[in-house]
């Protein structure tokens, strides 16, 4: 049996978010993701939430359920240079899967109150995992995004100086 032939996922719940349109979700350099939302887990999966309250942050794996097709190259809102889809957070992916780290505020039964949502209201949740990172901050690299942020900062500083 080949796992790739039988790949079958089912949602474990739904995200309730303040965002109903993709244009409402903050994007680009410096975007703040502090919106609050609720992860509503289906009743048959509630037992899987046992002991989740001990974690401050969670990975939420979800579906870009409104995305159609994919592009291997795209220009993100935070840069004017095209990048490969696997080096971006684009929803137009071969497998439309999203990953977000949220802060767990509290659990109310099968409802998880969280902050940091960047998904649309009604987004299907595929999985939740506790956020654990053993990578030291000084070893993390932000690739092209750090370069784009630096360019934006230099452009802003240059604009400020020319306005004086």
pLDDT in tens, 2-22: 656 667 889 999 999 999 998
State how far the Cα of 104 lies from the Cα of 112, in Å rounded to an integer: 7
Res 116 pLDDT > 80: yes
Q: Report the 10 Å Cβ neighbour count for 123.
A: 26
Determine, yes or no, domain membership for 147.
no
Determine, yes or no, domain membership for 35.
yes
Contact (CB, 8 A) for 63 and 126: yes
Q: Which residue has the higher pLDDT, 1 or 31?
A: 31
In this prediction the pTM is 0.80
Positions of E strands within the chain: 13-16, 36-41, 57-63, 73-74, 83-84, 97-108, 111-115, 124-130
CATH of the domain at 106: 2.40.30.70
Determine, yes or no, domain membership for 44.
yes
Determine, yes or no, domain membership for 148.
no
> Which range has the worst mean pLDDT, 35-44, 52-61, 129-138, 141-150?
141-150
Output the furthest CA–CA distance in the chain (Å, rounded). Answer: 69
Determine, yes or no, domain membership for 2.
no
Domain of 64 in residue numbering reads as: 9-135
Going by pLDDT thresholds of 50, 70 and 90, the confidence category of residue 27 is confident
Instruction: From residue 150, give the alpha-carbon distance in Å to each of 42, 116, 162.
Output: 43, 24, 18
Determine, yes or no, domain membership for 156.
no
* Sequence-ordered alpha helix ranges (H) in 1-55: none
Q: What percent of the chain has pLDDT over 70?
A: 93
Res 164 pLDDT > 90: no
Contact (CB, 8 A) for 14 and 126: no
Contact (CB, 8 A) for 57 and 101: yes
């Amino acid at each position: 049996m080949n796992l790739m032939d039988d790949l079958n996922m089912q949602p474990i719940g739904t995200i309730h978010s303040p965002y109903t349109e993709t244009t409402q979700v903050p994007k680009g350099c410096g975007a703040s993701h502090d919106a609050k939302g609720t992860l509503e887990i289906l009743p048959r999966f509630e037992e899987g939430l046992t002991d989740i309250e001990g974690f401050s942050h969670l990975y939420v794996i979800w579906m870009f359920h409104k995305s159609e097709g994919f592009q291997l190259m795209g220009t993100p809102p935070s840069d004017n240079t095209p990048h490969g889809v696997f080096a971006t957070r684009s929803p137009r992916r071969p497998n439309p899967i999203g990953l977000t780290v949220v802060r767990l505020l509290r659990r109310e039964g099968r409802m998880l109150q969280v902050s940091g949502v960047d998904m649309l209201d009604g987004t299907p949740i595929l999985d939740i995992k506790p956020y654990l990172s053993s990578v030291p901050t000084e070893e993390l690299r932000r690739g092209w995004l750090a370069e784009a942020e630096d360019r934006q900062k230099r452009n802003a500083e240059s604009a400020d100086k020319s306005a004086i």
